């Protein structure tokens, strides 16, 4: 998230610890912190005057936070920007919400909720398809609590979850949805998937409906062959081989919409957990998934 602090916040009226708590997010790299006008270490703005009254440790930490913000802002992929100033009531409905210090503190402290149908397998699906740099950041964000995986529990429950947060400005800005297409034989998304997508669009909720039937349909051929080779015995290996050969004989565009749970294994999504072998990122690219992977990552990181 990109957070611009009005320099008037440093006129002495705002609680110093509250301002420091906001600036700390910039120091640790969770959010990008800027000031309006832009901060200059050698300047004489209200920010500089406020810093002159702080001890050296705080002063240097704030310098680092604001310097980090100025350096990272030009290349930031985030499209969520807020402006913080002295105001009694926040205006959450602008393209760039105008917030009070208190509301900004609540928003910045709230982790981004990734609302997924299945908390475990969908999380690992995202990590598997992410390019190396984005995967590393996602892992760090999850480990540090900057992101939180919310178990959606299926399309109908995700609709209920979306309805439950519609009156919360904070949760609305700190949520992102991804869900299955649940393709019909024609290749069209199921009625439930279309309904959830429409509700997300109507409420301006960032989301990504998968272009294939479900995450299992993103398992590249190399992963399926590896799964065959990791069978616990010859009988199981022969059975797996037969199923994989059948699925891979289907035209690729049609294979994207078959039920992999029915055709291969009800637990095939466990491959995303990478317990038996790693899933190489180039496998997904070679399977023609790069365009959608880029789209998923762009949508997700725009909300960071």
pLDDT of 204 over the 90 cut: yes
Give the chain's length. 304
Are the C-beta atoms of residues 190 and 234 closer than 8 Å to each other? Answer: no
Q: Output the six-digit token pair for 28.
A: 């640790």
Cβ burial 17-48 (10 Å sphere, 16+ → b, else e): eebeebbbbbbebbbbbbbeeebeeeeeebbb
Are the C-beta atoms of residues 213 and 253 closer than 8 Å to each other? Answer: no
Cα-flanking dihedrals φ and ψ of residue 208, to 5°? -140, 110
Three-state SS for 207?
A: strand
pLDDT of 300 over the 90 cut: yes
Q: What is the pLDDT of residue 183?
A: 80
Which domain-ending residue is among 92, 109, 126?
109
pLDDT of 84 over the 90 cut: yes
pLDDT of 186 over the 80 cut: no
Same domain for 294 and 146, yes or no, is: yes
Cα-flanking dihedrals φ and ψ of residue 140, to 5°? -65, -45
Provide the β-strand partners of residue 20: none
**Which residues lie below 8 Å from residue 100, measured CB to CB, with a gap of 6+?**
84, 85, 86, 87, 88, 89, 90
Q: What is the pLDDT of residue 280?
A: 98
pLDDT of 184 over the 90 cut: no
User: What pLDDT, in 10s, does the model give residues 5-36?
Assistant: 999 999 999 999 999 999 999 999 999 999 99
Pick from 149-153, 179-183, 187-191 the range whose average pLDDT is largest.
Answer: 149-153
**Which residues lie below 8 Å from residue 281, measured CB to CB, with a gap of 6+?**
128, 129, 130, 131, 132
Q: Output the six-digit token pair for 17.
A: 């610890």
Q: Output the six-digit token pair for 46.
A: 């209200």
Mean pLDDT calculated for residue range 235-259: 97
**Which residues lie below 8 Å from residue 208, measured CB to CB, with a gap of 6+?**
177, 178, 179, 295, 296, 299, 300
Mean pLDDT calculated for residue range 122-130: 98
Same domain for 84 and 181, yes or no, is: no
Return mean pLDDT, the chain: 97
Which domain-ending residue is among 109, 139, 169?
109
User: What pLDDT, in 10s, does the model give residues 139-173?
Assistant: 999 999 999 999 999 999 999 999 999 999 999 99
Same domain for 37 and 184, yes or no, is: no
Q: What is the band of 268 on the pLDDT scale with cuts at 50, 70, 90?
A: very high
Provide the β-strand partners of residue 2: 32, 81
pLDDT of 208 over the 90 cut: yes
Q: What is the pLDDT of residue 47?
A: 97
Same domain for 92 and 163, yes or no, is: no
263-to-93, 184, 221, 268 alpha-carbon distances in Å: 47, 15, 14, 10
Beta strands in 107-184 (DSSP E): 112-116, 147-151, 175-179
Tell me the residue range of the domain where 75 lies.
Answer: 2-109
Mean pLDDT calculated for residue range 266-286: 98
Same domain for 193 and 103, yes or no, is: no
Same domain for 117 and 252, yes or no, is: yes
Q: What is the pLDDT of residue 265?
A: 98
In terms of Cβ atoms closer than 10 Å to its own Cβ (0-12, 13-18, 19+), residue 56 is exposed
Beta strands in the chain (DSSP E): 2-6, 32-36, 81-84, 98-99, 112-116, 147-151, 175-179, 207-209
Cα-flanking dihedrals φ and ψ of residue 113, to 5°? -90, 115
Same domain for 125 and 270, yes or no, is: yes
Are the C-beta atoms of residues 280 and 226 closer than 8 Å to each other? Answer: no
* Helix, strand, coil abundance in the chain, percent, nearest 5: 55, 10, 35
What percent of the chain has a predicted confidence (pLDDT) above 70?
Answer: 100
Same domain for 122 and 41, yes or no, is: no
Nearest to 69 by CA among 41, 33, 101, 40: 33
User: What pLDDT, in 10s, does the model give residues 282-292?
Assistant: 999 999 999 99
Q: What is the pLDDT of residue 5?
A: 99
Same domain for 143 and 208, yes or no, is: yes
How many domains is the chain built from? Answer: 2
Same domain for 208 and 155, yes or no, is: yes
């Amino acid at each position: 998230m990109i957070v611009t602090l009005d320099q008037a916040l440093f006129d002495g009226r705002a609680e110093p610890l509250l301002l420091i708590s906001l600036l700390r997010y910039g120091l640790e790299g969770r959010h990008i912190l800027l000031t309006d006008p832009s901060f200059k270490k050698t300047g004489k703005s209200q920010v500089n005057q406020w810093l002159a009254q702080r001890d050296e440790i705080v002063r240097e930490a704030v310098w680092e936070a604001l310097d980090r913000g100025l350096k990272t802002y030009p290349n930031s992929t985030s499209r969520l920007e807020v402006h913080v100033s002295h105001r009694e009531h926040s205006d959450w409905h602008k393209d760039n919400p105008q917030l009070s210090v208190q509301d900004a503190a609540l928003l910045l402290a709230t982790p981004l909720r990734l609302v997924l149908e299945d908390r475990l397998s969908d999380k690992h699906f995202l990590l598997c398809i992410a390019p190396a740099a984005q995967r590393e950041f996602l892992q760090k964000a999850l480990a540090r609590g900057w992101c939180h995986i919310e178990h959606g529990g299926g399309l109908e429950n995700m609709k209920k979850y979306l309805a439950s947060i519609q009156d919360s400005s904070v949760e609305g800005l700190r949520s992102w949805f991804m869900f299955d297409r649940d393709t019909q034989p024609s290749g069209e998304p199921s009625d439930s998937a279309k309904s959830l997508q429409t509700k997300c669009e109507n409420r301006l909720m960032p989301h990504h409906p998968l272009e294939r039937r479900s995450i299992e349909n993103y398992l590249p051929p190399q992963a399926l062959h590896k799964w065959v080779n990791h069978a616990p015995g010859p009988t199981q290996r022969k059975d797996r081989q037969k199923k994989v050969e059948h699925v891979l004989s289907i035209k690729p565009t049609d294979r994207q919409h078959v039920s992999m749970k029915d055709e291969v294994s009800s637990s095939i999504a466990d491959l995303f957990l990478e317990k038996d072998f790693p899933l190489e990122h180039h496998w997904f690219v070679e399977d023609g998934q790069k365009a959608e992977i880029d789209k998923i990552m762009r949508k997700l990181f725009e909300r960071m």
